[in-house]
Amino acid sequence: MPTSPKKAAADDGVTRPAKPRAIRMRDVAAVAGVDISVVSRVLSGDERLVVRPETRERVLEAVTRLNYRPNIAARALKTARTMAIGMVVPDLANTAYTEIARGADERAAELGYTLLVASGRMQERLPTLEGRIDGLLYAVATSDSTAPHRLPEQIPSLLVNRREPGLGASIIANDEEGVALATQHLIDLGHTHIGLIVADFSVDTHRRRAAGYRRAMRAAGLPDASESILETAFDEAGGYEATLELLRREPRPTALFVARGPTVPWTLGALAACDELGVSVPDDLSLIVLSDVPIADYLRPAVTSLELPLATLGSRAIDQLLRLIDGEAVADAMVDEPPRLMVRETTAAPPGRR
């Protein structure tokens, strides 16, 4: 009894894929003894479908027995819907984006959608995603990645974590409130010279963060001097240099809020700079960072951090995008959930006040 040569490979580390003909809907129909259109309607959960319970039963049974899986391409061709959402992020190593993606993914799954994540520049990513997705989320917080000054055409898109006139609808977190909160915490501790590190002001996210800082400072009757705010253009690991620079200014700040990412290298860079200058945290300098991963907890001293509701941002982004896909008008929005300040060990009263 000669065996088919195709199934020769045992499990010896060599895999030769079997290519059995896929089960089609018509196979299911045949087994269930009904027409293919009945199968289609039973499976699509069409509520206004009238079908005898026993018939539906037979269909479902056949589906299970044959392990039938609908052909996505055929369905997409017919319905002009892929039931997938794309998300383009500049860099998967940036934990802020992956946290947003996590929230988006979860919400998308709840609604029967699949989230497809791709990283890189929009110009390169969009073409390969087009046609595979019904809508696009793009998270861009750095000015360099701004590039898509052209809105993705033809496909409903939502800008995440940034608001940009000309780029269509967006969803953001309340960065201003968060930074104000953090600044207030430092003020409450007695600090009067507080440094703020943000990224390029060409991105509104950072202008909003600076606004939060200024609001809190002014409300406390403190100077919101521009030289306390450092606008950092370098995208990479600039935490070290930026912190050095701010700490060289006179009068030297007694507190510092690093309100930009990528958070892991920027946090570590700030700490390295303090170490370099012999500045002790929190004795000589109070430090707050923007965080989105549990890293703050593992550092010694544990770092006080401002947590933006990034997962919620992703989740809400999906809701807004689906509206857009459904043809509704969608305005710029902000997530309700407030940022939370996690006070740990790097914030204390300033040197003079103890």
Partner DNA sequence: CTGTTAGCGCTTTCAA
Partner DNA sequence: TTGAAAGCGCTAACAG
What's the token pair of residue 74?
A: 């055929």
**Contacting residue, 51, 211, 268, 272, with DNA by CB under 7 A:** 51
Name the amino acid, one letter, at 307.
E
102 near a copy of itself (CB under 8 A): yes
- Given a copy of itself, DNA, none, residue 265, with its beta carbon under 5 to 8 Å by kind, binds a copy of itself
Name the amino acid, one letter, at 218.
R
Cα angle 43-46-50, degrees, rounded to a multiple of 5: 100
**Contacting residue, 44, 64, 123, 280, with DNA by CB under 7 A:** 44
> Considering only CA atoms, which of 212, 216, 209, 169 is closest in space to residue 191?
216
CA distances from 330 to 187, 311, 354 (A): 38, 20, 52
315 near a copy of itself (CB under 8 A): no
Spatial distance between the Cα atoms of 248 and 277, rounded to a whole number of angstroms = 9
Quick one: CA dihedral 125, 128, 132, 135, positive or negative?
Answer: positive
**Contacting residue, 49, 93, 219, 233, with a copy of itself by CB under 8 A:** 93
- Given a copy of itself, DNA, none, residue 9, with its beta carbon under 5 to 8 Å by kind, binds a copy of itself
43 near DNA (CB under 7 A): yes
Piece of the chain touching a copy of itself by CB under 8 A; list 109-117, 198-206, 212-220, 277-285: 109-117
Shortest Å distance, C-beta 88 to DNA: 23
For 230, which DSSP code?
E
Spatial distance between the Cα atoms of 169 and 173, rounded to a whole number of angstroms = 14
Of 38 and 325, the one with the shorter C-beta distance to DNA is 38
Name the amino acid, one letter, at 308.
L
Piece of the chain touching a copy of itself by CB under 8 A; list 137-145, 211-219, 225-233, 326-334: 326-334
Spatial distance between the Cα atoms of 143 and 141, rounded to a whole number of angstroms = 7
What's the token pair of residue 52?
A: 């005898």
What's the token pair of residue 6?
A: 């195709």
Q: Is residue 171 a contact partner of residue 229, using CB atoms and an 8 Å limit?
A: no
Contact string 18-37 vs a copy of itself (x = CB under 8 A): -xx-x---------------
Shortest Å distance, C-beta 158 to a copy of itself: 8
Of 33 and 223, the one with the shorter C-beta distance to DNA is 33
> Considering only CA atoms, which of 122, 135, 159, 138 is closest in space to residue 85?
135
Piece of the chain touching a copy of itself by CB under 8 A; list 39-47, 161-169, 201-209, 340-348: 161-169
Judged by DSSP in three states, 289 sits in: strand
Spatial distance between the Cα atoms of 41 and 37, rounded to a whole number of angstroms = 6
Shortest Å distance, C-beta 183 to a copy of itself: 25
332 near a copy of itself (CB under 8 A): yes
Piece of the chain touching DNA by CB under 7 A; list 17-25, 189-197, 209-217, 251-259: 17-25
Length of the chain: 354
**Contacting residue, 34, 181, 270, 330, with DNA by CB under 7 A:** 34
50 near DNA (CB under 7 A): yes
Which positions lie near DNA, rule CB under 7 A? 22, 24-26, 33-38, 40-41, 43-44, 46, 49-52, 55, 70-71, 74-75, 77-80
